[in-house]
């Protein structure tokens, strides 16, 4: 089986990925490489150009100014049909005759594509799930909302298979667009790290963690959406209660105008595209007792899979696609988005003070990674579904 895999960005050059989309781009890279290992050669199509005519450029600039200054709404030029029709034209031109399936990891890429091969969309969420959920999809102008939902509908109507990483995303598609549930499938994504760790390795990693200080790790570029303020409050309250807690913050700089509390280690953004950055992040995760990312909006959360690959349980919220990843008392614990901070504190304090229970949870977290939250398992499931299309 040969599939064509289309992305509008350069999937093999992580240095060019937008910082706010690093997780998404990384997921699509690891997804592609897992499919390549499972299926054989893949035809990579991309990067693609945003094709604007001079008149559309002028019109888009005018719309953007009007919405920014007058309507106070957000307008996205890339959602314009002509831009995505341009992507479709480029994909069709680059597509070889021997590709049997075309896979798009974004809803917009195949929305206007016409071809003989079966089309498959495989992504974290439809635009309908992101609108008024993610910050950058809130307060959109009516035109952009209509264009995004139109692309959702076009893609879902013409694709033979729609794969999503979570039950939340799959159900959103079925409920919003009345899509036949038989062609909507859920395959949890894997960890966006290379991992050859064995159970014995994980046991050593867990034993090496200090038992006199609870090390919490917040890993996220978006401090607000990822619930950084909640993580900070939890660490603060735990220290006040007498538990020795250290919170390490990676990915952002929330203390630009002030010094962080003495229990906080703020490392800022560390790029995994460099060997040194990857080693540093790996070390930080391995040394941590818990990953705490109480996201207020999350389509999936590959960072939880990455933490599990080091035997690190996760603490987060029951929103979006997270419940597909984290199962209570199996590989972490989920809380209501608006729960009291003390609920987090009670759980973490009880777990750390019962260190035997913590070690058991850490081992169980690695088992979740080994059995279902890795790209090898993901690709095997995908292969079975894709084979049914040809």
What pLDDT does 22 receive? 85
Q: Which residues of the chain have pLDDT under 50?
A: none
User: pLDDT tens digits for 83-132?
Assistant: 999 999 999 999 998 999 999 999 999 999 999 999 999 999 999 999 99
CATH superfamily of 199-371: Glycogen Phosphorylase B; (3.40.50.2000)
Instruction: Please check whether residue 163 is in contact with residue 185, taking contact to mean a CB–CB distance below 8 angstroms.
Output: yes
| Same topology between domain 3-190+375-387 and domain 199-371 | yes
Instruction: Please check whether residue 375 is in contact with residue 122, taking contact to mean a CB–CB distance below 8 angstroms.
Output: no
What pLDDT does 194 receive? 86
For residue 298, give the 3-state DSSP assignment: coil
Axis-axis angle for helices 199-208, 355-371 (nearest 10)? 150
What pLDDT does 124 receive? 97
- Total-model pTM: 0.94
Query: What CATH number labels 3-190+375-387?
Result: 3.40.50.2000
DSSP string, 194-247: -----HHHHHHHHHHS-SSSEEEEEE-S-TTTTTHHHHHHHHHHHHHTT--EEE
Rounded-to-integer distance, Cα 231 and Cα 247, Å = 8
In the chain, domain spans = 3-190+375-387, 199-371
What pLDDT does 1 receive? 86
């Amino acid at each position: 089986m040969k599939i064509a895999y289309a992305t509008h960005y350069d999937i093999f050059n992580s240095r060019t990925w937008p910082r706010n989309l690093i997780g998404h781009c990384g997921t699509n890279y690891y997804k592609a490489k897992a499919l390549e290992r499972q299926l054989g050669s893949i035809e990579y199509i991309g990067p693609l150009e945003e094709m604007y005519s001079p008149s559309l450029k002028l019109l888009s600039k005018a719309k953007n100014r009007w919405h920014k200054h007058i309507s106070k709404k957000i307008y996205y030029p890339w959602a314009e049909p002509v831009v995505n029709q341009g992507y479709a034209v480029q994909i069709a031109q680059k597509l070889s005759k021997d590709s049997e399936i075309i896979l798009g990891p974004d809803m917009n890429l195949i929305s206007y594509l016409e071809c003989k091969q079966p089309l498959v969309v495989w992504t974290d969420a439809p635009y309908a799930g992101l609108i008024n959920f993610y910050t950058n999809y809130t307060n959109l102008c009516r035109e952009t909302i209509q264009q995004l939902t139109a692309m959702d509908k076009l893609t879902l109507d013409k694709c033979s298979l729609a794969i999503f990483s979570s039950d939340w995303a799959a159900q959103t598609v079925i409920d919003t667009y009345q899509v036949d549930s038989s062609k909507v499938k859920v395959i949890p994504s894997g960890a966006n790290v290379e991992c050859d760790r064995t159970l014995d390795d994980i046991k050593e990693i867990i034993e090496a963690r200090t038992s006199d200080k609870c090390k919490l790790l917040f890993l996220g570029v978006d401090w607000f959406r990822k619930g950084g303020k909640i993580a900070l409050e939890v660490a603060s309250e735990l220290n006040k209660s007498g538990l020795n807690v250290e919170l390490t913050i990676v990915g952002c700089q929330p203390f630009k105008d002030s010094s962080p509390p003495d229990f906080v280690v703020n490392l800022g953004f560390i790029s995994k595209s460099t060997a040194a950055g990857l080693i540093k992040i790996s070390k930080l995760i391995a040394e941590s007792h818990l990953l705490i990312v109480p996201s207020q909006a999350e389509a999936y959360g590959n960072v939880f899979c990455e933490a599990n690959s080091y035997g690190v349980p996760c603490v987060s919220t029951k929103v979006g696609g997270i419940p597909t990843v984290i199962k209570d008392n199996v590989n972490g614990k989920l809380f209501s988005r608006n729960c009291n901070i003390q609920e987090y504190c009670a759980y973490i304090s009880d777990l750390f003070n019962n260190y035997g229970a913590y070690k058991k949870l850490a081992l169980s977290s690695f088992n979740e990674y080994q059995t279902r939250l890795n790209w090898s398992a993901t690709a095997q499931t995908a292969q079975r579904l894709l084979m049914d299309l040809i």
